[in-house]
Structure 1
Amino acid sequence: MAEKTPSRAVTIKDVAAAANVSRATAARALNSYGYVGEAAALRVAEAAARLGYRGNRVAQALRQGQMPIVGFVPGDIQNPFFAHIAHDIDFELRRSRHSLLIASSEEDLKQEQELLDSLCALNVRGLIVAPASAVGNDHLIRIAEEGMPLVLIDRAVTGVPCDVISVDNDNGAYEAVSYLIGNGHQRIGVIHDDSRIVTAQERLTGYRRALTDSGLAVEPRLMAVSQSTVEHAIDATIRLFSQPNRPTALFTLDSLMTTGALLALRSMGLSVPQDISLVGFDDFDLATFTDPQITVVSQPVGQIGPLAVRMMLDRIAGDDSAPRHTRFPTRLIVRGSVSRLTERSKTHP
């Protein structure tokens, strides 16, 4: 006698075909999110009952808000800054019996909007977000006004009524560039991300302000645009230092750019700090493994994740007080990557 073949589990695709609707419509009807017309919803329910469809209980619990899950949308999870924060958020949430869903926006505003819509459809308990842009944040305003607990980290944006944790990027960059100026540097290059990201804008503002306050011109030829990746920073550094009368010092706006700059300078046969002085924004492991060690603007990264979770859990517990804004100061850590220029070296790079 032939062995009986086990019956295949009924899927949403099967239910959709039997009800003559799209899979998306069937999913909305079965999981109770989004709009579905009354007639279509009835056909889906009848088809599911007839076929013996058993839904994904975990997905249903998510959508009904029965599972303690918080969503985190960083700019780029490959950036050590966000990787550190993600680790801390996960650790703190698990202590309170919550779980974490992470989805990187890759610094793309449209992708951020789509990810947040998906997380809201899953009915997560709250959202922690590093906004990809200083503008176009209607989706964040809507999420906050609808009552979803929302904490913005790293980047404060105007008009979103929620808790915010940021860093004093402007003054951190100002202190770094002023330190270079104090060591005799006047041709100070910068590698920056010419984007809508708030942190990049604030750090570039600090760079410009330090030059202006010292009576130095802000020269476009000393400013190289790079995406926040090692590869792009390598290309930007080579462009910057291949020109005549090159900079004597370089300021980079994040750790990935600093890494790229170091690799590029080495490939060009330029030594730090003998040929080029270097200061980077954001401390990172490589900064202390190099010889010399790199002078950096340090952020209190270890405090951001735990504070974000505390704020989030307060809101989940029902705290409806006014939005809170915590802005951490930065700290310039002086190491060995900056040399003092003599009058001769100022004119003979």
Structure 2
Amino acid sequence: MARTKSTTVKDVAAAANVSRATAARALNGYGYVGSEAAERVLEAAARLGYRGNRVAQALRQGGLPIIGFVPGDIQNPFFARVAHDIDVAARGSKHNLLIASSEEDLEQERALLDNLRALNVRGMIVAPASANDNLHLARLVREGTPIVLIDRVLDDLPCDSVAVDNEGGAREAVEHLIANGHRRIALIHDDARIVTARDRQAGYVKALQAHGLPVDQRLIAVSSSTVQHAIDATIRLFSQPERPTALFTVDSVMTTGALLALRSIGLTIPRDVSLIGFDDFDLATFTDPQITVVAQPVGKIGPVAVKMLLERIRGLSEPPRHVRFQTRLICRGSVSRIFRPA
């Protein structure tokens, strides 16, 4: 049986002999419409059986309790967990969540934020794709859109944020390797335009400098946060004539890639190479040996971000608040000690 075509605003406008824009204003109750034209539109709507899209109308008028979340990469286990926690916290406060991943692409982030703004979401939680190019976020803040940044703090953007001490966590990891006798410590990190990658690289550099060790660019590899790119970066680092004795990776995806790469080229952890990764993840405890990691309190980040956002939505007007959690080095079995002569 053929489905009956539903009546549209265009149909109502034609029947009432008005423009589509005038019909939309009369039906949705916004803007000015003369009384005679409005009466014709309403009469035509009743006669044609027009049933407006109430959800679309409510979105346009900000009538639905929806907040938006724009993570860097929803496939990253860190953002997947944070998204889950944001959703649970939002629903607990009678709000719904729209998730749209930027894939660490600045142009995509701009488009997604524009779309969320057009939908009249009540506020947004964002992990910015760039440390420097954030005029689009600044505009939203000026317009009064409630925004909370997570994972990545932008010093020049006056809004709330929830993050961890990325630099301190990375420095502690590298200092642990140094304390175990390692001097040739390699680093795999993401694009430096991403705040977390920049901060974790800074922690690596400061740990080396604090112990009088050179920062050897041959031991530093830039990789996109994918398993395959991390595999390629690891193989490049360990194909050098003088191999690193240790490796620090800046997220769990890169740690996974490093594990696969080291196995493929016949290197054993920790006998041949020691490994520490930033972010704890399931695979870290399923491997033999288990992987030493810098753990974030991931379960706290989403709920705190939602709480801060809802307070802004409800009218809180105090200066920007910044929550920064400490990381924790979890020592397992992936770091060996190199004994050096006294």
Q: Please say if residues 221 and 237 of structure 2, whose CA atoms lie closer than 8 Å, have aligned partners that are also in contact.
A: yes
Could you tell me which of 95, 112, 116 is aligned with 1:119? Answer: 116
Q: Which residue of 1 aligns with 2:104?
A: 107
Pick from 1, 4, 12 the counterpart of residue 7 of structure 1: 4
Give me the whole-angstrom Cα distance separating, in 2, the residues matched to 1:17 and 1:339.
78
CA distance in 1, matches of 2:176, 2:6: 67
**Does the 8 Å contact 1:282/1:296 carry over to 2?**
yes
Q: Secondary structure at the match of 2:224?
A: coil
Per-residue deviation, 1:141 = 1.1
Matched, 1:180 2:182: no
Report the CA distance between 1:150 and its aligned residue.
0.8
Distance (Å, rounded) in 2 between the aligned partners of 1:269 and 1:291? 15
Q: Deviations over 1:128-151 (max 9, x none)?
A: 001111111111111112111110
| Residue of structure 2 equivalent to 1:262 | 259
Counterpart check, 1:302 vs 2:323: no
Identity over the aligned pairs, expressed in percent?
67
Deviation at 1:123, TM superposition (A): 0.5
- Counterparts of 1:216 and 1:238 in 2: how far apart (Å)? 24
* Structure 2: tracts of 5 or more residues without a match: none
The question of 1:245 aligning with 2:246 is answered no
Letter of the 1:267 counterpart = S
Distance 1:294 1:61, change over 3 A: same
- Paired residue secondary structure (2:6): coil
Q: 1:336 aligns with which of 301, 321, 333?
A: 333
Asked if 1:132 corresponds to 2:107, the answer is: no
- C-alpha separation in 2, matches of 1:77 and 1:12: 37
Secondary structure, aligned partner of 2:214: coil
CA gap of 1:6–1:254, structure 2 versus 1, over 3 A, is closer
Task: Name the aligned partner's letter for residue 110 of structure 2.
Answer: Q
Q: Which ranges of 4 or more aligned residues in structure 1 deviate by more than 3 Å? A: 10-18, 25-32, 48-55
Alpha-carbon deviation of 1:10?
Answer: 4.0
Matches of 1:189 and 1:250 in 2, distance apart? 5
Which of the numbers 270, 273, 277 marks the counterpart of 2:270?
A: 273
Equivalent residue for 1:163?
160
Q: Is the alpha carbon distance of 1:27 and 1:212 closer, same or farther for their aligned partners in structure 2, counting shifts above 3 Å?
A: farther
Where 1:61 maps in the other structure, the secondary structure is helix
Shift of 1:92: 0.9
- Confirm or deny that 1:93 pairs with 2:95: no
Report how far residue 30 of structure 1 moved: 9.3
For the Cα contact (< 8 Å) 2:70–2:100, is it kept in 1?
yes
Deviations 1:193-244 (A, max 9, x none): 1231000000001101111111111111111111001111011101111111
1:84 aligns with 2:81: yes
- 1:288 corresponds to: 285
Q: After superposition, what is the alpha-carbon deviation per residue over 1:242-287, rounded to whole angstroms, capped at 9, x for unaligned?
A: 1110100000000000000000000111000000000001111111
Alpha-carbon distance change, 6 to 273 in structure 1, aligned in 2, over 3 angstroms: closer
Q: Which amino acid aligns with 1:115?
A: L
Q: Is the 8 A contact 1:31 1:63 kept in 2?
A: no
Instruction: State the secondary structure of the residue aligned to 1:320.
Output: coil
- SS in structure 1 opposite 2:133? coil
Specify the alignment match of 1:224 in structure 2.
221
Amino acid at match of 2:307: R
What is the SS of the residue equivalent to 2:124?
A: strand
User: 3-state DSSP class of the match of 2:120?
Assistant: coil
Q: Is the 8 A contact 1:108 1:132 kept in 2?
A: yes
Q: Which amino acid aligns with 1:234?
A: I
> Aligned residue for 1:209?
206
Name the amino acid aligned to 2:159: C
How big is the alpha-carbon RMSD for the aligned residues of Structure 1 and Structure 2?
Answer: 3.1
Worse-superposed segment, 51-60 or 283-292? 51-60
Give the letter for the 1:277 counterpart.
S
1:52 to partner: Cα distance: 6.5
| AA at the equivalent of 1:190 | L
In 2, the alpha carbon distance for the partners of 1:54 and 1:122 equals 20
DSSP 3-state at the match of 1:152: strand
Partner residue, 1:347: none
Corresponding position of 2:309 = 312
Residue type at the aligned position of 2:197: A
The aligned length equals: 332
Cα distance change, pair 248–318 in 1 and its aligned pair in 2 (3 A): same
Task: Calculate the TM-score normalised by the size of structure 1.
Answer: 0.87
Q: TM-score, normalised by structure 2?
A: 0.88
Q: Report the AA paired with residue 135 of structure 2.
A: D
Distance 1:56 1:337 in 2: 57
Name the amino acid aligned to 1:158.
D
**Paired residue for 1:198?**
195
